[in-house]
Structure 1
Amino acid sequence: MPSTSTKSSVSRVLAFASLLLLPGATFGYNNSKAMDPEDRSGTWSIGAYFNWQESPYAGEDWRSDFMPQFVYTGENIYLDTTQMGWHAIDNDDWQLDTYVNYYLNGYNDHTFYSDTGEVRDEDDPLKGMERSSSFELGAALTRKTEYGRWSIAASHDVNGTHNGGRMELEWSKTWRGENWQVQPWLRTNYYSRETANYYFGVNADEVLVDRPEYALEATGSVSAGASLRVTAWQRHNLSLNAGYTVFNDEITESPIVSENAVFNASLSYRYEIDDLNRSSSGDYNFFTNNPNPWSYRIAYGCTSDTSLNKILRLQIDCQGDGTHLGSFFLSRQLSETLMTLPIEAWVTTGVARRFESEYQGNFWEGVLAFKAVFRQFPWSDTIETRFGVAEGISYAQKVPNIESERAAERDRRNSKFLNYLDFSLDVSLGDVIGNKKLQSCFVGFSVHHRSGIFGASNLYGNVYGGSNVNTMYIECEQR
Structure 2
Amino acid sequence: MIRQWINNKLLCDKAFGFLCGFLIYLIVKGCPAAYASVIMDDNESVWGFGLSFRYADIPFTVSDDLSVNVIPEIYYNGEYFFMEGLSGGIKILRENAWSLDFIGAMRFGDLPKEEGRETRLDTPFWGIRARYDIRPDHYLYTSAMADFAGSAYLDIGHKWRKVYGRFKLEPYVNMRWKNADYNRDFYDALSQSKAGMNHSLEPSIGLDARYHLSKGVYLTAGLQYLHLDHEARKSRTVDGNHKTVANVGLVLLGDGIPVSGNAFFPRRSYLRAAYGWATPSNMGDILAGKNDSKEFDDTLSSVFYGYPLKEKAFEWPLDFYLHSGLVWHHSSDTQDAGFESVVAIKAYYTLNWPVNWRFGVAQGLSYVSRSTYVEKSELDRKDRKESKLMNYLDVSFDVNIGGLMNNHTFDRFWVGYSLHHRSAIFEKSSHFGRIKGGSNYNSIYVQTDF
TM-score over 0.5 for the alignment? yes
Structure 1 stretches of 5 or more lacking a match? 26-32, 115-125, 282-286
Residues 172 and 205 in structure 2, CA contact (< 8 A), matched pair in contact too: yes
In structure 2, give the amino acid aligned to 1:405.
S
- 2:124 equivalent to 1:149: no
Q: Deviations over 1:310-363 (max 9, x none)?
A: 111122342232211111100123223233332222220001111241333211
Q: What is the SS of the residue equivalent to 1:16?
A: helix
For 1:212 and 1:324, how far apart are their aligned partners in 2? 46
Q: What is the SS of the residue equivalent to 1:462?
A: coil
Residues 278 and 291 in structure 1, CA contact (< 8 A), matched pair in contact too: no
- 2:447 equivalent to 1:472: no
Residues 445 and 470 in structure 1, CA contact (< 8 A), matched pair in contact too: yes
Q: Deviations over 1:381-422 (max 9, x none)?
A: xxx222211111111111211111111223344311111111
Alignment partner, residue 122 of structure 1: none
For 1:6 and 1:415, how far apart are their aligned partners in 2? 15
Match of 1:371 among 343, 346, 362: 346
- 2:38 equivalent to 1:63: no
Identity %: 21
Match of 2:324 among 349, 371, 374: 349
Alignment partner, residue 277 of structure 1: 257
- 2:259 equivalent to 1:255: no
Q: Aligned pair in 2 of structure 1 residues 378, 179: CA closer, same or farther (>3 Å)?
A: same
For 2:23 and 2:243, how far apart are their aligned partners in 1? 29
Q: Deviations over 1:356-383 (max 9, x none)?
A: 4133321111111111212214212xxx
Alignment partner, residue 151 of structure 2: 164
Match of 1:411 among 383, 392, 411: 383
Q: Deviations over 1:186-237 (max 9, x none)?
A: 11112222222211235xxx87xxx323342222311101122222335122
C-alpha displacement of 1:459:
2.4
Q: Which structure 2 residues correspond to residues 379-390 of structure 1 after superposition, within 5 A? A: 379-380=354-355, 384-390=356-362
Q: Which structure 2 residues correspond to residues 108-187 of structure 1 after superposition, within 5 A? A: 130-146=119-135, 148-157=138-147, 160=148, 162-187=149-174
Q: Aligned pair in 2 of structure 1 residues 339, 453: CA closer, same or farther (>3 Å)?
A: farther
In structure 2, give the amino acid aligned to 1:278.
P
Residues 356 and 400 in structure 1, CA contact (< 8 A), matched pair in contact too: no
Q: Aligned pair in 2 of structure 1 residues 219, 334: CA closer, same or farther (>3 Å)?
A: same
Residues 219 and 248 in structure 2, CA contact (< 8 A), matched pair in contact too: yes
Alignment partner, residue 398 of structure 1: 370
- 2:202 equivalent to 1:199: no
Residues 425 and 445 in structure 1, CA contact (< 8 A), matched pair in contact too: yes
Residues 368 and 394 in structure 1, CA contact (< 8 A), matched pair in contact too: yes
Residues 17 and 368 in structure 2, CA contact (< 8 A), matched pair in contact too: no
**Could you tell which deviates more after superposition, 40-49 or 180-189?**
40-49
Q: Which structure 2 residues correspond to residues 279-294 of structure 1 after superposition, within 5 A? A: 292-294=267-269
Residues 46 and 70 in structure 1, CA contact (< 8 A), matched pair in contact too: yes
C-alpha displacement of 1:473:
1.0
Residues 56 and 110 in structure 2, CA contact (< 8 A), matched pair in contact too: no
Q: What is the aligned residue count? A: 434
C-alpha displacement of 1:12:
4.1
Q: Aligned pair in 2 of structure 1 residues 334, 96: CA closer, same or farther (>3 Å)?
A: closer
Q: Deviations over 1:276-305 (max 9, x none)?
A: 432599xxxxx9599640111111111001
- 2:445 equivalent to 1:458: no
Residues 317 and 470 in structure 1, CA contact (< 8 A), matched pair in contact too: no
Q: Deviations over 1:83-108 (max 9, x none)?
A: 22344333443x23222313223266
Residues 206 and 223 in structure 2, CA contact (< 8 A), matched pair in contact too: yes
**Could you tell which deviates more after superposition, 230-239 or 60-69?**
230-239
Alignment partner, residue 231 of structure 1: 212
For 1:273 and 1:238, how far apart are their aligned partners in 2? 14
Alignment partner, residue 6 of structure 2: none
Residues 26 and 81 in structure 2, CA contact (< 8 A), matched pair in contact too: no
Residues 363 and 398 in structure 1, CA contact (< 8 A), matched pair in contact too: yes
Structure 2 stretches of 5 or more lacking a match? 1-8, 28-33
Q: What is the SS of the residue equivalent to 2:257?
A: coil
In structure 2, give the amino acid aligned to 1:151.
Y
Residues 307 and 468 in structure 1, CA contact (< 8 A), matched pair in contact too: yes
Q: What is the SS of the residue equivalent to 1:58?
A: coil
Q: Aligned pair in 2 of structure 1 residues 72, 250: CA closer, same or farther (>3 Å)?
A: same
Q: Deviations over 1:123-147 (max 9, x none)?
A: xxx5995134333331122232248
For 2:202 and 2:336, how far apart are their aligned partners in 1? 42
Q: Which structure 2 residues correspond to residues 22-37 of structure 1 after superposition, within 5 A? A: 25=35, 33-36=36-39
Q: Deviations over 1:409-456 (max 9, x none)?
A: 233443111111111112223333454322211112111111111112
Residues 138 and 159 in structure 2, CA contact (< 8 A), matched pair in contact too: yes
In structure 2, give the amino acid aligned to 1:389.
V
Q: What is the SS of the residue equivalent to 1:375?
A: strand
Q: Aligned pair in 2 of structure 1 residues 8, 367: CA closer, same or farther (>3 Å)?
A: closer
Q: What is the SS of the residue equivalent to 2:340?
A: strand
Q: Greater helix share, 1 or 2?
A: 2
For 1:144 and 1:333, how far apart are their aligned partners in 2? 31
Alignment partner, residue 5 of structure 2: none
